Amino acid sequence: MPSILNTTDINFTKDFESLLLTKREADQDVDDIVAKILNDVKNHGDTAVIELTAKYDRLDLTPETLAFSESEIDQAIEGVATKEREALELAAKRIRNYHERQLPEDAWWVGEHGEGLGWRWGPVEAAGLYVPGGTASYPSSVLMNAIPASVAGVDKMCICAPTPGGNCNPLVLLAARLSGVKNIYRIGGAQAIGAMAYGTETIDKVDTITGPGNAFVAAAKRRVYGNVGIDMIAGPSEILIIADRNNNPDWIAIDLLSQAEHDKNAQSILITDNAKFAKDVVGCIDNRLKSLDRREIAKPSWENYGAVIITKDLDEAASLSDKLAPEHLEVCVENAEEYSKKIRHAGAIFIGSLTPEAIGDYIGGPNHVLPTARSARFSSGLSVLDFMKRTTLSKMTPASLSAIGPAAALLADSESLEAHGLSIRERLNQINSKAKDS
């Protein structure tokens, strides 16, 4: 059974703290395995990647077949139904339009002493995009990773998408084509992360790696960080819904199950100020679980990690939400837009009862790669900025160096960095000497 908490209960604080500390990552300690895989890829390149793919994905490859050929991509996407193609094209258009608004602006100004100051933004040169496969493959994840990279202006993009047993979702290839990605490798797991981080004879090294994956992928991204950039270490998915009694309980139930069906370790939480509504939602979930296609995944997720919290009022609900800092937050209350301004910590907020989280997974526009495990307290979802870097700019003139240089030299002396001070004073001496001569 899911946890049922009430803020008026004497043990609520203790029970809520236990909910916050619940560990939902896979129990298996994969780090040692991942370390060996990464070391093999680093030292043996294509050979290691091919052997590991045969072992874990039951797929025999050669250096020539690591990537899909253009003809293979063409043939696969020819079979995509028109309605699916149009839906994917609409999603790509909306995601691109949203992310184009994220492009930062360069800046340059002249300070009070005539010095030039500013910054400029530029893309990384190469990005590696991981797309999950196995029990489910996600063309939406291709769009969510590749389009921001494309908008940022990344020159080289590649995708690694596992194809266990050689099975490939044509929509994944179509999404890559729509996003402008030409190199699509049929490999996955830690070996794919290693290949993109270190490079092999066939796969070029990238500058940053983004995209969600299983525990092996997450552990690999953690290990290669520093050698390359990464977006985040994503854990199991989660959703929090704040809802009042003026909602359809079945809608809320389905929304909670929409995350539970992702993963047995996913978490779905309802916060409401109405005990009867909470009971109705739980009843609807029980009923839906009788027929849901992925009930073997959704049921243990709901029973092991699901929670219902009954609060005194909706202000208390907002406070608890910020402590949970959920990946996805649905706000289904009266005056939802105004209420959402009370929320400080959430990866993505879906405002109003007509905005289910699932719309954001596919076609809303904002990115669905979001911080999990309460990391929304200090991080954001994937964006164009994850594929860009800022370079600061400064330019001194004789007048500006004369004005601020002495203070800089003094600070250098206070830190016992003689050469720092000298590099400034020698220039000031020359400026002063020229001023005397004139």
pLDDT in tens, 379-407: 999 999 999 999 999 999 999 999 999 99
Which amino acid makes up residue 394? S
Q: What is the rounded (10 degree) CA torsion for 361, 333, 15, 345?
A: 60
With a cut of 80, say whether residue 262 has pLDDT above it: yes
For residue 184, what pLDDT is reported?
97
Regarding pTM above 0.75, the answer is yes
Q: 99, 262, 328, 368: which is the annotated catalytic residue?
A: 328
Among 19-23, 136-140, 327-331, 433-437, top mean pLDDT goes to 327-331
Cβ-proximal residues to 334 (8 Å cutoff; 6+ apart), any chain: 244, 246
With a cut of 70, say whether residue 15 has pLDDT above it: yes
Looking at domain 3-25+235-364, which of 3.30.365.10, 3.40.190.10, 3.30.420.40, 3.40.50.1980 is its CATH number?
A: 3.40.50.1980
pLDDT band at 213 (very low <50, low <70, confident <90, very high): confident
The radius of gyration of the chain's CA atoms, rounded to the nearest angstrom, is 26
Q: Tokens 């009971």 sit at which residue?
A: 279
Cβ-proximal residues to 46 (8 Å cutoff; 6+ apart), any chain: 63, 66, 200, 201, 202, 203
Q: 327, 330, 357, 368: which is the annotated catalytic residue?
A: 327
CB 343 within 8 A of CB 318: yes
- Which helix (H) or strand (E) segment is 434 a member of? helix 418-437
Calculate what percentage of the chain has a pLDDT beyond 70: 98
Cβ-proximal residues to 175 (8 Å cutoff; 6+ apart), any chain: 88, 92, 139, 140, 142, 143, 146
Beta-bridge mates of residue 267: 238
CB 256 within 8 A of CB 242: no
For residue 153, what pLDDT is reported?
98
CB 403 within 8 A of CB 432: no
For residue 137, what pLDDT is reported?
72
With a cut of 60, say whether residue 134 has pLDDT above it: no
Beta-bridge mates of residue 196: none
The bridge status of strand 328-332 relative to strand 156-160 is unpaired
pLDDT band at 24 (very low <50, low <70, confident <90, very high): confident
> Which residue intervals of 21-81 are DSSP H helices?
31-57, 70-78
pLDDT in tens, 189-210: 999 999 999 999 999 999 999 9
For residue 26, what pLDDT is reported?
58
In order of 262, 283, 307, 370, the CA distances from 290 in angstroms are 17, 11, 19, 30
Class for the domain spanning 31-234: alpha beta
Q: Read off the DSSP letter of residue 225.
A: B
Closest Cα partner for 351 from 425, 242, 259? 242
Q: In what order do the strands lie in the sheet with 107-110?
A: 107-110, 116-123, 388-395
pLDDT band at 4 (very low <50, low <70, confident <90, very high): very high
Number of Cβ atoms within 10 Å of the Cβ of 264:
19
Locate the domains of the chain by residue range: 3-25+235-364, 31-234, 396-437
Name the phi and psi angles at 287, rounded to 5: -70, -45
Q: What is the rounded (10 degree) CA torsion for 33, 36, 37, 41?
A: 170
CB 127 within 8 A of CB 207: yes
Closest Cα partner for 119 from 100, 131, 105, 101? 105
Q: Tokens 């929509």 sit at which residue?
A: 171
With a cut of 70, say whether residue 28 has pLDDT above it: no
With a cut of 90, say whether residue 152 has pLDDT above it: yes
The answer to whether residue 328 is catalytic is yes
CB 340 within 8 A of CB 351: yes
Q: What is the mean pLDDT of residues 89-96?
A: 98
Three-class DSSP category at 262: coil
Domains 3-25+235-364 and 31-234 share a fold: yes
- Which helix (H) or strand (E) segment is 281 a member of? helix 275-288
With a cut of 90, say whether residue 229 has pLDDT above it: yes
> Distance (Å, rounded) from C-alpha 418 to C-alpha 412?
7
Q: Tokens 């047993």 sit at which residue?
A: 165
CB 206 within 8 A of CB 127: yes
CB 261 within 8 A of CB 306: no
pLDDT in tens, 164-190: 998 889 999 999 999 999 999 999 999
One DSSP character per residue, 105-170 reads PPEEEE-TTS-EEEEEEEE-SEEEEE---TT---HHHHHHHHHHHHHHT-SEEEEE---GGG---H
Cβ-proximal residues to 394 (8 Å cutoff; 6+ apart), any chain: 115, 116, 117, 118
Indicate the length of the chain as a whole number: 438
Q: What is the mean pLDDT of residues 3-7?
A: 94
Q: What is the mean pLDDT of residues 70-82?
A: 95
The answer to whether residue 330 is catalytic is no
Q: What is the mean pLDDT of residues 141-167?
A: 96
For residue 215, what pLDDT is reported?
87
Closest Cα partner for 332 from 311, 317, 316? 317
